[in-house]
Chain A
């Protein structure tokens, strides 16, 4: 479902020019993942985003990376970007300190359609850094808890120390109004939780197939197995949404890089209803 929020008007006025913003806080989630917080009101008055959208984050002289926004959309003054250090730009970002300046433009892309989940159960399935674009969904659901049925969060990570947002996950796991199941690919003697693939967690929950909406985000292979699992449990494809990733250079639909078959992931995505992309997912080297 396509929901766009307004792109903040920039002082430069040009859609490809980032706004300089200061890093307010950096939290290292694990060895190679960190969350950068900036305050958009510095330079981007009226900035708002919807869960699932992303910003283009710029490092002076080096380049940009498309990063999902992982904070609470209703909290003005904070924008979190959870970043996996894996390439040139993200490695440069990993060396930044509080007070350093980066560039930002956005928000771009489609968002998780939360309004269709009203009155239904919500099943959030995420793996690795895939939890980042889904965290804003959890905040949004919890902010109006009575509007939704069960909230189930399934999350898989590499190991206990690699899990994102551990404090929050534990807080949510202890609350009665949200079900959180976490698993890791490999554990140690101090980990008392599940060890295995995130799809194995489905054995421990019962879904009401007719009244559940699912949001899925993670490595493509993980998403494909999750889709099979959701299908096995009887969820109709139009109740399932996923977030896709491709190379991005402009984020405004004119550079051609993010094409996934007939769709531009920066414009129509990254969030898609499953029917739109089901056939495309099976295509090798699409």
Chain B
């Protein structure tokens, strides 16, 4: 473990750029903290703090020096690993038939992700299981992922809807990153305690002006994340959840949720693990040229389950049931872990503030009462 100051942190960013990485990090834009290209420390949302509650998100700026005083925003890293719109192939008409256009092979971006929250790191690991660990791999995801340099920032405080601790995903990450930073603001000093989690991380740190982290430094870093854990107000008990939901298939609670849910798909858009997609085949006006695009989809759309004869899930009630049961139930069967990392985004960005921790608790309580 080492300690670096803010200038050192900027040095990290420059060293990454020197290695050919495009930096992605949090920035303030139009009232929210989003993830986009950054170039230096000065692009980071210094002093910004977010306040989150069910159906509520706001950002204020104070005089704080903290670079990472906010928690997370509506954009997750999946936007870059698994782009919202991706061209899969082009075809051109040729004689009586058509030909696949030679792969333009756009250069695979080499990203360094700055400021990944521990829960988000886990979300990436979860998506790895879908896109690069299965029998078929998504070539874009896999190649971007292979080159990804991850810089985690440990959480100093939770946002109002966070429940990472109960999902075992935070507020501290213990491994799986290249670098992990804990931001320390103590009296007048402002620095970072840094842990390298990989060979690439170590190599990079060697170039940065740093000093060894003292016991005091380490204790301060531990206090930061411990304090974050203590401030969590939400939790979700996951024991037996797949079975509980499996046995609640026709539970009246689903009707209760359906009365509120707008089927707006916000939750699936902001969720860092949701992965559903659809394909669109388009041609130009003359038909000489055709393309297939993949874009994000949501199980909340009415046509999601269309087969000849109609849609299998015909109502908001059954589509919400699918989303939640998949996220915390079927996902475990399919990929070995829960699909939920406790980031709370779905609660924040649900226009009617449906809180899955509350709903899950209701299912659990109801289930316990029956047995």
Contact = CB atoms under 8 A, between A and B. Distances in A.
Q: Which of A61, A62, A246 has most B Cβ within 10 Å?
A: A61
A88 B138 CA distance: 27
Nearest to B304: A257
B84 to A, nearest CB: 14
A101 B307 contact: no
Interface in B279-317: 279, 281-283, 287, 290, 292, 294, 297, 299, 304-308, 312-315
Q: Which of B136, B304, B326 has most A Cβ within 10 Å?
A: B136
Interface string A241-272: 00001110110111111010110100100000
Interface string B226-266: 00000000000000000000000110000000000000000
Contacts of A253: 130, 134-136
Nearest to B313: A285
A14 B142 CA distance: 13
A267 B135 CA distance: 9
Interface in A1-26: 4, 11-20, 22
B330 A262 contact: yes
B88 interface: yes
Given A20-B97, A254-B138, A247 B307 contact: yes
B80 interface: no
A201 B215 CA distance: 81
Given A61-B287, A285-B312, A254 B134 contact: yes
A49 to B, nearest CB: 16
A193 interface: no
Interface string B311-341: 0111100100010001001100110000000
B99 interface: yes
A283 interface: yes
B279 A249 contact: yes
Nearest to A43: B100
B223 interface: no
Given A257-B278, A285-B312, A14 B139 contact: yes
Given A16-B88, A262-B334, A256 B297 contact: yes
A262 B333 contact: yes
Nearest to A16: B88
Given A253-B134, A259-B326, A87 B308 contact: yes
B277 interface: yes
Given A256-B276, A285-B315, A101 B98 contact: yes
A121 interface: no
Contacts of A60: 91, 93, 97-98, 283, 290
A167 interface: no
Nearest to A84: B308
Interface in B103-142: 103, 130-131, 134-139
B42 interface: no
Contacts of B294: 16
B330 A246 contact: no
Given A16-B89, A253-B134, A259-B330, A61 B304 contact: no
Nearest to B274: A256
B186 interface: no
B57 interface: no
A63 B279 CA distance: 8
The 3 A-B pairs with the shortest beta carbon distances in the complex, nearest first, are A101-B97, A256-B276, A252-B136
Given A16-B88, A61-B282, A249-B279, 7 more contacts: A15-B137, A60-B98, A61-B281, A101-B98, A245-B307, A267-B135, A284-B318
Interface of A: 4, 11-20, 22, 60-64, 84, 86-87, 99-101, 103, 245-247, 249-250, 252-257, 259, 261-262, 264, 267, 283-286
